Amino acid sequence: MTGRVALVTGGTRGIGGGISRELHEAGYRVAANYAGNDERARQFEEETGIPVFRFDAGKFEDVQRGIADVVERVGPVEVLVNNAGITRDSTLHKMSFEQWDDVIRTNLTSCFNLCRAVIESMRERKFGRIVNVGSVNGQAGQYGQVNYAASKSGMHGFTKALAQEGAAYGITVNAVAPGYVNTEMVRAVPEKVLEKIIRRIPVGRLGEPHDIVRAVFYLVSDEADFITGSTVSVNGGQHMY
Ligand code: CAA
């Protein structure tokens, strides 16, 4: 059914921007969240006609306020894509507490904050689609990313636990685990390191946001009601899990 209300966190840029646009084009009523880049968000809103909502997904009170705003302006959230994510790469012996904490809060605590804010309404309506955007690096680990790998791996466990709770209420909870995708986040990886990584991808290229969007798109559809607690890996064969 089109016309469902979909909220995408980190939904104005990168993979999240792709998800927002394609859901919007398919007839979903999309709300795109962002954390700080007002100019890019305004540009996105003008270009796409998708309303943007500024709140920090990693902060519980901000999310409560943000969701109330989405419900008022767009409607009760039926589809939630937890996509907001950051990296603060460093080897552990050089990593500060802030680098650890920022990543855990933004990537993992945000899942709790967002799901907690929408789950009761999904249970009442007996319908919900939640997709958590994890990572190949949460499945396989990655040098220089204990914070990021822990957060993404945590999202995968979170997905399976909540899937069990939602099943009797028509709520499916799944994860997509992207590999290295051509976004600002990946383009920030040192060139030499990235070259090595690309050499290890059997398909021989970085992913594009659209590659990830297709998987999300299927999982949020009404038809995917028998798929829950699963992780779809979209990584060009880099890690076969
Ligand atoms: N395995 C083994 N050794 C490695 C390594 C690896 N994957 N990567 C780096 N090293 C080694 C280097 O070869 C180097 O060794 P030598 O000194 O003997 O040459 C040593 O570690 C230090 O490397 P750097 O000079 O790069 O050290 P640094 O402290 O400046 O930076 C780093 C370390 C932050 C980890 C940096 O290498 C880096 O940014 N790596 C990229 C990490 C990465 O892949 N991040 C993914 C971001 S995108 C993303 O996360 C999206 C997603 O979901 C996929």
Is residue 238 a part of any domain in this protein?
Answer: no
Q: Ligand 1 centre and the CA of 233: distance in Å?
A: 23
Residues 6 or more apart whose Cβ sits within 8 Å of residue 215? 176, 232, 234
Question: Would you say residue 188 lies in a domain?
Answer: yes
The secondary structure element, H or E, covering residue 66 is: helix 60-73
Least confident of 16-20, 36-40, 91-95: 36-40
- The yes-or-no verdict on residue 241 having pLDDT over 80 is no
Tell me: the pLDDT tens digits for 134-162? 999 999 999 999 999 999 999 999 999 99
Protein residue with its CA nearest to atom 28 in ligand 1: 90
> Is position 117 within any domain?
yes
- Among residues 46, 57, 58, the alpha carbon closest in space to that of 7 is found at 57
In angstroms, what CA-CA distances link 97 with 49, 53, 147, 216?
39, 29, 10, 33
- Return the pLDDT at 66: 98
Q: Is residue 226 part of a domain?
A: yes
Q: Which residues line ligand 1 (CB under 6 A)?
A: 87, 89-91, 135-137, 142-145, 148, 178, 180, 185-186, 189-190, 193
Q: Which two tokens stand for residue 230?
A: 């699963």
**Domain ranges, residue 66:** 5-232
Q: Is residue 198 part of a domain?
A: yes
CATH of the domain at 162: 3.40.50.720
Which mutation among 83, 91, 100, 205 tests ligand 1's pocket best, with the greatest number of atoms within 8 A of CB? 91
Q: Which residue among 28, 148, 169, 241 is the active-site one?
A: 148
Whether pLDDT at 186 is above 80 = yes
Please count the structural domains in the chain: 1
pLDDT at 73 over 70: yes
What is the Cβ-side half-sphere exposure of residue 96, based on CA atoms within 13 angstroms?
A: 4
In sequence order, what are the residues at sequence separation of 6 or more whose Cβ sits closer than 8 angstroms to the Cβ of residue 113? 57, 58, 59, 60, 63
By percentage, how much of the chain surpasses pLDDT 90?
Answer: 98
Going from the Cα of 144 to the center of ligand 1, the distance in angstroms, rounded, reads 5
Amino acid 178: pLDDT: 98
* Residue 196 CB neighbours (<10 A): 11
- pLDDT for 1 equals 62
- DSSP class per residue in 201-220: -TT-S-B-HHHHHHHHHHHH
Name the band, by pLDDT with cuts 50, 70 and 90, for residue 229: very high
81-138: per-residue pLDDT in tens? 999 999 999 999 999 999 999 999 999 999 999 999 999 999 999 999 999 999 999 9
The two three-digit tokens of residue 197, written as one number: 């990584």
Sign of torsion over alpha carbons 4, 8, 11, 17:
negative
- How far is residue 222's CA from residue 9's CA, in Å, rounded to a whole number? 21
**Residue 218 annotated to the active site:** no
Residue 204 belongs to a domain: yes
CA 149 – ligand 1 centroid, Å: 14
Ligand 1 mutation target, pool 90, 93, 142, 206, most atoms within 8 A of CB = 142
Share of the chain above pLDDT 70, in %: 100
Q: How remote is the CA of residue 83 from the centroid of ligand 1, in Å?
A: 24
pLDDT number for residue 144: 97
Q: Does residue 43 fall inside a structural domain?
A: yes
